[in-house]
Structure 1
Amino acid sequence: MKLKFNSALSLVAVGVVSALQTVSAAPVYEIQNIEDYDLNGTLASTINGYGMFVNQQNQLVGISQGKKKLEVNDDDNSIIDIEDGISPEQLVTYSINAPIEANNFTFIAEGNGATGSWLPIFDSVFGTTAPEDTVEDNPETVNSINASYYGINNADLRVGSYTGPEQKVAYTGETAGQEYWYYREFEERAFVKKADGTDIAIAPPYTTYTKDDTDVVVGGVSVAAAINDNNQVTGYGSTALANSSIERLNACITGEVYPVDVCVQLNQYPDASGFRRILYQTRAMVWQLDDSGVTPTELPLGLTSTSDVVFTAQGLGINNDGTVAGRSHVYRNNDTDKLAFDAAYWKKDSNGTYQYHWVKMTDDQLSSIAYDINDNGILVGSYKQYIEGYSRDKFFYVDTNQASPTFVTPNDFYQGISDRSSRPRDINNKDQVVGYIEATSEKEKPRLKSGFLFDKNSDEFYDLNELLVCESKGYTQEGNGDWTRNKVEVTDGNGDVLFYESEIRIVEANSINEDGTIVGTAFIRKPSYQFDSNGDLVIGDNGKPLFLLNADGQPVTAFIPRMVVMQPSNSGTACTVKESDNSGNANYERKGGASLIWLLTLPLLWFRRRKV
């Protein structure tokens, strides 16, 4: 049963009617990238991994983030083994006074990969260096380019965005010992990587500011968010500077403290609150890739711009007909007092020209966004609305083939519009949708999240964690047939043998192909190390780090994110073991980026991309 938002049917009545419906058999899934109850879900020497998109050939693209901080034992100058627990992350800060180091790395994986099934393999973009090959004392190995993959089509064309490499200029300031200032020519640029290894950069329409006889390379912003099987890429790009940014650039040109490029970089970096001082007008884009190169098409904004206000439109998903899903600023119902940032789609008319279409919202929805559209014309997205006094995101879908398309909010676990936030990420051509939903109900605290699978045809909504076989959740079967948590043995710096229990939890599903293969992000439990007041690992007598212990003398554990691959099971059954948490375990709180965080942001002014 589907619930249209303005339905007069009460939630109680909806629940009663829904309870009478016949529930179809739930699918069963197995995690494919498990080895010894651990997930092969990130690159070597990185902490976090995210599965972004999978094509029909079971090829996926992903992002690793959080370069591991290597610790050295002062006694014999040997590298400490910190693979058993949650490794400390190398602190990466961006400053014009220090060399630029990257923290995002691209990888690929395949179901039948030459080096192993679904094993993450570093995939260099524009000469990036694998995190495990970086030697801090060797500048030639230090990677300054942050790169992210967001999509892949069935011809193995991969799309994403990357930053410019580090540039430097002689230092003329007053700090003793400093030789250079450091900067980039751009902070975000779309690209396509071909199967033969060729990298193709896609510049935005606007990259250079000119004043009098001075040209200033500001770089602009472009992101390639998705690609279809006709090699059409959608995303967004900068088309002009905001007026406030022009004033800042003029000050860079006339200023005497920094070289112009360094001054521009200083304004490109975010301040302590995350605000960037150089802002752009940004529009949704489609780029056609063929043998002659890349042909850009700028998609229309959802309103007529008559002021100097910064307006934004973004393409985020594209089907094989070339229809684009995304969002744009719009005056709702042409009322200039009701400016909103709303879900939209762009479809070609009979003349082959893209036309803007607003996904109509009511005044109750604060904003909305569309993430994807399939070849059947079914668009998926989410809107933001106050529910029970709190701002929540709710998953919706729209059949764009209708004469007057109306968004539908599917029932989730509670047979109605619950107050649990949910966002879709992807829809395949079988009308199966994946995304995430909040799995707990605390009002004032962060809520645990679960990946979901929604089947539009049967109107069934599933928590992916409830569809997994027991082994995929961290259980092992005893001789008597009972399932218990797998116990992991670790040795700490005192030589003590300790134990903690395995646990794997699907927290977001980002992509699903026609065969039902799902990729996304899972949390996996790892033990936490002890740190001293300086933030350094506490090392024991045997040269290994000490674990943080609970009241029972066993390691305190926390969740870390890893890429996960799930496929329908041919023989397994869904695990029915009742979940329970151990005292002393703590949920991992993600700091910094998360999967799909970057794609949905303008790096200059927007909130984090595909926030989880």
Structure 2
Amino acid sequence: MKLKQLTSAVILATTGMSATAATYTLTPTPAQDLSFANYAQSIDNSGTLVINTSVEYNPPIDLSLFDFENELFTAQFEDPDAVEQGVFSNVDYNILYSYVLQVRQSSILGQKLETLRSYQTDMVGLDLIPGFDVYSEDFDDYSRSSLSLIRDSLNGDFFVGTGNGAFFELDYTNEDGTDYTFIINALPKQAIVQVNGEAKFLPASTTEPLGGFGEAFAINNQLQVAGYSSTVFSDDYITAAENCDDDEERGDIPVEVCQYNLISNETTLNSVAQTRATIWELDTQGDVVNTQTYGMVFTPEEDDSSRFVYYSKANDINDQGIAVGESSTGEAVVYTIPGGNAGRYQGVVATAFMDGEVVELLPRDENLQSSANAINNDGWVVGNVRRENNGVAREQMFAYNIESGESIYPDGFFATSAVNPRAINNNGIIVGEGEYDASVQTDRQLRAFMYDINVGEFIDLNTLLPCDQQEQYTLVTANDINDDNEIIANAMYLSPQVYVNGEEVLDNAGNTNDVTRVIAVKLTPTGAQNVEDCDASNEDNYERKGASLPLSGLLTLGVFALFRRCVRRAK
């Protein structure tokens, strides 16, 4: 990553009340002081919010891993001697951090520094959810090497998501007498739970070889966790793992490095393992007392060359133990995406996992693809269907009731608007985001929405804010809603450009440059019975505060990699 790219990343980087009768007030979460960009994840019925930070200010740098005798390396800095002593100018700090990110992606000899971290907050305090990260005496802080991506919480006590083992240094002298210090870990991504400050792995259905892998997405009041895990590995992968224990087959590297090379490539893992929807049942200490693995809506043949491409996963689970998500169909579909050419895609359908059965929810002949994102305790499932409209396949929202079989397909902000519902509460209120600008065909702007199944109204959440907040912020996504109708969302607003240490960037005249910032916010119902009438037009307001990001802009920021229960896992 070049300096310009790094800088850009840092910079960018009443229950039962009708939705139309509730106005909201917006409050930024405390995470905005930690990083320039931070993203909404979930909010539970205790009011606990989970947020994820991206590229936190003042990242720790391990200078012992850099070669300051390399002139090509030191020539990048304004003052290389000061850098070697740990004294950084704003520009040099950015360059150094950029270098760390490059090495992190490409080498097992450099510092591993995760760019994402998860926190819980009650809007007063802010507490790190470290997962399996370890404390570093050199940094006087956590090493930030271990992934801990939390996606859901229960009563502010249980937190579930994805994590891996912390990285460690392994010294090795090869046959030529050259010394190396490898920085590796020993376990791929795993479903995790953190309770009472202690993190625990939720074991995959198949843990051999090398530990298996999985992810967790949601937890219900019965302490059931929904996600997916590995079940069967390919013969080639098993052989490769066995070869790591063979001195001749392994080559001149440590056993641990050979194993790390197998588990660290997520793309490789997804192509060598069958993954299936998994439900873990926990006790009050967070220990697993039962694991149930579900199949798919079809059973592939043993000689099917795509059997390691097919998958199922559970994105959410209600208090009755009904999980919802998606499953491969074994078929292929062909369609054209907005702004693109026709492509051939894997068939995927919205699925329920209940009572040991895998149930397809929607008529397959009506949709190209579908996926279920969330379910409430009344059996209402919300998700996406991909349907063709004017020759282009767009995402549309659906709501389906498992008990009655009723299904609805609400329009978004306009007839061909792509809509992504992220959550539904037990009051029947859905939140998410939809394309807002009908005047363009691709990269349409996004706005956060609310849809009340009981009323049937699709509402721009921005219009429910006080006028002064509408002037300042644009709500682009709504990620979750609890049963008090409190919402956690992402908002954009203009803020001065900053360096990686959080200090403002000044031009030669000492002026700042305002850029668009994305932060997690809480929306709280005010109890007002009428929506405030703002004199200024919405278009003028949004233009002054930077306008809404198109979908591609949010992808650039990495928002959708973090959002809860919505990203279809490509295998």
Query: TM-score with structure 1 length normalisation?
Result: 0.72
Partner of 1:224: 216
- Any unmatched runs of 5+ in structure 2? 1-17, 62-76, 333-343
Aligned pairs (5 A) from 1:23-422: 25-33=20-28, 40-42=30-32, 44=34, 46-68=35-57, 91-92=100-101, 93-94=104-105, 95-111=107-123, 116=124, 119-128=125-134, 138=139, 141-154=142-155, 156-173=157-174, 179-194=180-195, 196-209=196-209, 217=210, 219-246=211-238, 248-249=240-241, 252=244, 253=246, 254-270=249-265, 279-291=272-284, 293-294=287-288, 295-307=290-302, 308=304, 309-310=307-308, 311-331=310-330, 340-348=347-355, 354-363=356-365, 365-402=367-404, 405=405, 407-414=407-414, 418-422=415-419
Quote how far apart the aligned CAs of 1:582 are: 4.8
Is contact 1:283-1:313 (8 Å) kept?
Answer: yes
Deviation sequence 1:72-93 (CA, Å, 0-9, x none): 99699877689xxxx9878522
Which secondary structure state, in structure 2, belongs to the residue aligned with residue 446 of structure 1?
coil
Which secondary structure state, in structure 2, belongs to the residue aligned with residue 283 of structure 1?
strand
1:423 counterpart letter in structure 2: N
Is contact 1:316-1:370 (8 Å) kept?
Answer: yes
Change (3 A) 1:264 1:368: farther
Change (3 A) 1:401 1:524: same
Quote how far apart the aligned CAs of 1:338 are: 11
Quote how far apart the aligned CAs of 1:527 are: 3.0
Aligned pairs (5 A) from 1:475-554: 475=471, 503-528=472-497, 545-547=505-507
Deviation sequence 1:454-491 (CA, Å, 0-9, x none): 00000001111122112323x4xxxxxxxxxxxxxxxx
1-side partners of 2:180 and 2:221: how far apart?
Answer: 49
- Any unmatched runs of 5+ in structure 1? 1-22, 34-38, 210-216, 349-353, 476-502, 531-535, 538-542, 608-612
Quote how far apart the aligned CAs of 1:176 are: 9.3
| From 518, 523, 532, the counterpart of 1:573 | 532
Which secondary structure state, in structure 2, belongs to the residue aligned with residue 410 of structure 1?
coil
Quote how far apart the aligned CAs of 1:259 are: 2.9
Is contact 1:556-1:585 (8 Å) kept?
Answer: no
2-side partners of 1:24 and 1:235: how far apart?
Answer: 31
Which secondary structure state, in structure 2, belongs to the residue aligned with residue 171 of structure 1?
strand
Change (3 A) 1:244 1:368: farther
Matched length? 500
2:218 counterpart letter in structure 1: A
2-side partners of 1:26 and 1:175: how far apart?
Answer: 75
Quote how far apart the aligned CAs of 1:174 are: 8.6
Quote how far apart the aligned CAs of 1:226 are: 0.6
Quote how far apart the aligned CAs of 1:509 are: 0.9
Is contact 1:468-1:575 (8 Å) kept?
Answer: no
1:340 counterpart letter in structure 2: G
Q: CA RMSD in A?
A: 3.9
2-side partners of 1:558 and 1:175: how far apart?
Answer: 52
| From 437, 450, 455, the counterpart of 1:453 | 450
Is contact 1:267-1:278 (8 Å) kept?
Answer: no
1:245 counterpart letter in structure 2: Y
1-side partners of 2:390 and 2:21: how far apart?
Answer: 31
1-side partners of 2:270 and 2:345: how far apart?
Answer: 26
Change (3 A) 1:447 1:288: same
Is contact 1:232-1:322 (8 Å) kept?
Answer: yes
Point out which structure has higher relative CO (alpha carbons under 8 A, 6+ apart).
Answer: 2
Quote how far apart the aligned CAs of 1:150 are: 0.8
Is contact 1:267-1:277 (8 Å) kept?
Answer: no
Is contact 1:50-1:595 (8 Å) kept?
Answer: no
1-side partners of 2:208 and 2:109: how far apart?
Answer: 24
Partner of 2:65: none
Deviation sequence 1:280-339 (CA, Å, 0-9, x none): 211111111115831211123221232251121111111110100111112579xxx997
Which secondary structure state, in structure 2, belongs to the residue aligned with residue 32 of structure 1?
strand
Q: Does 1:593 align with 2:558?
A: yes
Which secondary structure state, in structure 2, belongs to the residue aligned with residue 566 of structure 1?
strand
2-side partners of 1:88 and 1:465: how far apart?
Answer: 36
Is contact 1:42-1:120 (8 Å) kept?
Answer: no
Deviation sequence 1:175-197 (CA, Å, 0-9, x none): 99753222222231112222x32
2-side partners of 1:436 and 1:586: how far apart?
Answer: 12
Partner of 1:559: 516
Partner of 1:488: none
Is contact 1:66-1:89 (8 Å) kept?
Answer: no
Deviation sequence 1:382-435 (CA, Å, 0-9, x none): 022332333321111101112xx3642112223xxx222111111111110011
1:101 counterpart letter in structure 2: L
2-side partners of 1:262 and 1:277: how far apart?
Answer: 20
Is contact 1:467-1:575 (8 Å) kept?
Answer: no
Write 1 or 2 for the structure with the bigger share of helix. Answer: 2
Quote how far apart the aligned CAs of 1:595 are: 4.9
Which secondary structure state, in structure 2, belongs to the residue aligned with residue 65 of structure 1?
strand
Change (3 A) 1:122 1:524: farther
Quote how far apart the aligned CAs of 1:516 are: 0.8
Is contact 2:146-2:167 (8 Å) kept?
Answer: yes
Quote how far apart the aligned CAs of 1:548 are: 9.6
Quote how far apart the aligned CAs of 1:544 are: 6.8
Query: TM-score with structure 2 length normalisation?
Result: 0.76
Change (3 A) 1:584 1:447: closer
Which secondary structure state, in structure 1, belongs to the residue aligned with residue 469 of structure 2?
helix
2-side partners of 1:156 and 1:148: how far apart?
Answer: 16
Deviation sequence 1:565-604 (CA, Å, 0-9, x none): 001123572545323325998956553632553765999x
Deviates more, 1:369-378 or 1:289-298: 289-298
2-side partners of 1:278 and 1:568: how far apart?
Answer: 46
